[in-house]
Structure 1
Amino acid sequence: MTDMPTLKPERPFFSSGPTAKPPGWNAANLSTDSLGRSHRSKLGKARLKYAIDLTRELLGVPDDYLVGIMPGSDTGALECAMWTMLGAGPATVAAWESFGNVWIQDAVKQLKLKDLTTLTADYGEIPDLASIPQDHDVVFTWNGTTSGAKIANTDWLEPGRKGVTINDATSAIFAMEMDWAKLDATTFSWQKVMGSEAAHGMLVLSPKAVERIESYDPDWPLPKLFRVKKAGKVDRAIFEGATINTPSMLAVEDYIWCLEWAKSIGGRAALIERANSNAQIVKDWIEATPWLRNMASDPAQQTNTGVCMVFQGEWYDSLSEEDKAGVPTKIAAKLEALDVGYDFNGYRDAPPGLRIWCGGSVEAEDVRRLLPWIEWAYEELKAGRL
């Protein structure tokens, strides 16, 4: 019998999105001068531009790339890239988890691309990315938010490749280095690794992406929210503090606070180190726990953000499929009721399991304190007491 632990995480926030606010966050600390003002005012545009500039600085985005704020979170930013750039030539969309499969559905059912290849793999695995032709446009998810599997490197993307590369980086950015030279459109949302508020996304465009947008007009109609071109040219104002539609200035101020916090602790390098350390705690625990395994079997492809794990062993294997699905749900519900850990159940479409967010806004000690509680809840469930 495993005794109930005594120490609880001080900040029991382990959701994979929106993720934990950074340590020290308090709504009272947010700047409010821009609230109630037009986003087109001098002040409003300055704060939006500041958010863009801080993003560029912290991520090390090249000077000749454009960085803009988009509506609709990462989904809006990624679909804007797909709707404005795909269809000019052959394309491959690669997916190994839920969100990547959404981009496949967009390409197949919405854009109905004529020269399309889809490349898929099961949860926890990565498809053969080296098989993608270099003249293909490619859409991929850097880190599988719902599977815990990330790309090991960008060796499969040749320098100067003909096709444009569209990268959904929403659960990787600020936790993994981006190979900007090989990325043409990179998107992410504020509520993932930075723990900011949702509904807004970022779109980072290389010069090649800009050239594609300006030289190509797709056959399909573009919703207003995707129109980044004006008079045949990319509308540079969108990447200088203007926005396509009205943003929440409160969300902007929240994002700025989180960026300033990241800068204060050492920037991108510090965030990556925190994520690596947190994830290693969980990975080492999984390795030492016989009734768990990492959903991603290849260590080189195991994420350092949303670490996903599934159950195994004689007791678990003896359960019906329905009861197997109930194991992580019951554990997560029990620990939420005890205010030990919130929202660390696996994604609804993924294989039943647990998913612990380990990004830089999470404290290592809180991760350490959560794990014995999971062991306790598992033993309670196994003994029929949960």
Structure 2
Amino acid sequence: MERRHIFNAGPSALPFEVLDKAQSELISYQQAGMSVMEFSHRSKEYKSIHTEAQNLLRELLEIPDEYEVLFLQGGASLQFSMVPMNFLGNKQVGNYVVTGSWSEKAYKEAQKIGAASIAASTKESNFDHIPDLSELRYSDNDAYLHLTSNNTIHGTQWRNFPANQNQTLIADMSSDILSRVIPVQNFSLIYAGAQKNLGPAGVTVVILKNDILERIPEGLPTMLDYKTHVQKKSLYNTPPAFAIYMLSLVLKWTKENGGIENFEAENKKKSTMLYETIDNSNGFYNGHAKKDSRSRMNVTFTLPTEELTQLFLEEATEEGFVGLKGHRSLGGCRASIYNAVPLDSVEALCEFMSQFHQKHNL
């Protein structure tokens, strides 16, 4: 069966080679006579998969030795709570840059735990840009500064990150991790749900610097304490073994295909192609994000009328394009072009968009 052009925002496209490999090993992993889903998480077979995934992630992201790599559950949404529970101390403030729905949810969760403030917000302009670094507000009581590096719903992305050495910088990188080179050493904690560039839903990657573990208070629920997972190497309870196996396959595929530098170049090419199609349409297509904040992962745009939007989506579906409907809170259309979305799919989409424009130009 011919593969469709998958532009889902998440769960998103997975590399065909990874799916093919997983299929070949589904019933019997490396001739073991059983599936990865059937291994004990204490077995040497599973521990090998687990360790390999951690090592590959360290290699690809160039994670320094003083950082821990954890595999947790609960998605980025659980991290919204775990971060303030672990690091928002008494008489301190969690400082949040609100650039979209997910960073706003993180801020609201922090308010349930303790004091939280907004370093900057772009809500008044419907989250159409990333604030300039000079606009960020800090205080001496900040426990940390939290940001979301890429905003899937509104299609914006941080180009440069804050470099205030007096700040503990924490980032939700769920939707653009592995898509570009990032300065891991500038962050105290990075977390990412897997279902964009890392693999299928079910596992959440957390990268944290050892020195912030000292700030964690005593008495937290065991499963919500980062120290638990560091001490037990993410094996305190049964991990999402198959999701971690799939993560390891995606990481191998990333390495075999030139690593992050190659995908960064490819993602620039794909996003430039799509944005040029939008910009050269004489207003038939309109991008939501301001040009200096445009995401290379999620391209959001609108058409002149709701009727044309619905017709566009219907015809796109007939042509084999999946996942182009915009998020319900924003409307319009969205093409998510993560690492596993091939250039051929983006070229096909641009051609379809141009043909649709010619056919329905008002």
How high is the TM-score relative to the length of structure 1? 0.81
For 1:176-195, list aligned pairs within 5 A.
176-194=180-198
Indicate which of 256, 265, 273 corresponds to 1:264: 256
For 1:216-255, list aligned pairs within 5 A.
216-217=217-218, 222-230=220-228, 235-238=229-232, 240=233, 242-255=234-247
Distance (whole Å) between structure 2 residues aligned to residue 204 and residue 140 of structure 1: 15
SS in 2 for 1:116: strand
Indicate which of 163, 166, 178 corresponds to 1:157: 163
Residue 247 of structure 1 deviates from its aligned partner by 2.5
Partner of 1:358: 337
Distance 1:48 1:343, change over 3 A: same
Maintained 8 Å contact 1:293/1:309 = yes
Partner of 2:120: 119
2:323 maps to 1:343: yes
2:155 maps to 1:148: yes
SS in 1 for 2:151: coil
Q: 1:157 is aligned with what amino acid?
A: A
Residue 69 of structure 1 deviates from its aligned partner by 0.3
Aligned residues: 344
Q: Which runs of 5+ in 1 are unaligned?
A: 1-8
2:138 maps to 1:133: yes
CA RMSD of aligned residues (A): 2.5
Distance (whole Å) between structure 2 residues aligned to residue 90 and residue 134 of structure 1: 8
Partner of 2:278: 286
Partner of 1:5: none
Partner of 1:59: 61
Distance (whole Å) between structure 1 residues aligned to residue 236 and residue 115 of structure 2: 29
Distance (whole Å) between structure 2 residues aligned to residue 134 and residue 57 of structure 1: 35
How high is the TM-score relative to the length of structure 2? 0.86
2:186 maps to 1:206: no
Distance (whole Å) between structure 2 residues aligned to residue 30 and residue 80 of structure 1: 35
Q: 1:116 is aligned with what amino acid?
A: S
Distance 1:82 1:378, change over 3 A: farther
Q: Which runs of 5+ in 2 are unaligned?
A: none
Distance (whole Å) between structure 1 residues aligned to residue 6 and residue 257 of structure 2: 20
Distance (whole Å) between structure 1 residues aligned to residue 349 and residue 291 of structure 2: 25
Partner of 2:39: 37
Partner of 1:3: none
Partner of 2:23: 28
Maintained 8 Å contact 1:274/1:359 = no
Residue 50 of structure 1 deviates from its aligned partner by 1.4
Distance 1:30 1:127, change over 3 A: farther
Distance 1:223 1:347, change over 3 A: farther
Maintained 8 Å contact 2:80/2:105 = no
Distance 1:19 1:376, change over 3 A: same
Partner of 2:291: 298
Distance (whole Å) between structure 2 residues aligned to residue 104 and residue 330 of structure 1: 37
Indicate which of 12, 21, 31 corresponds to 1:19: 12
SS in 1 for 2:95: strand
Distance (whole Å) between structure 2 residues aligned to residue 202 and residue 371 of structure 1: 33
SS in 2 for 1:229: helix
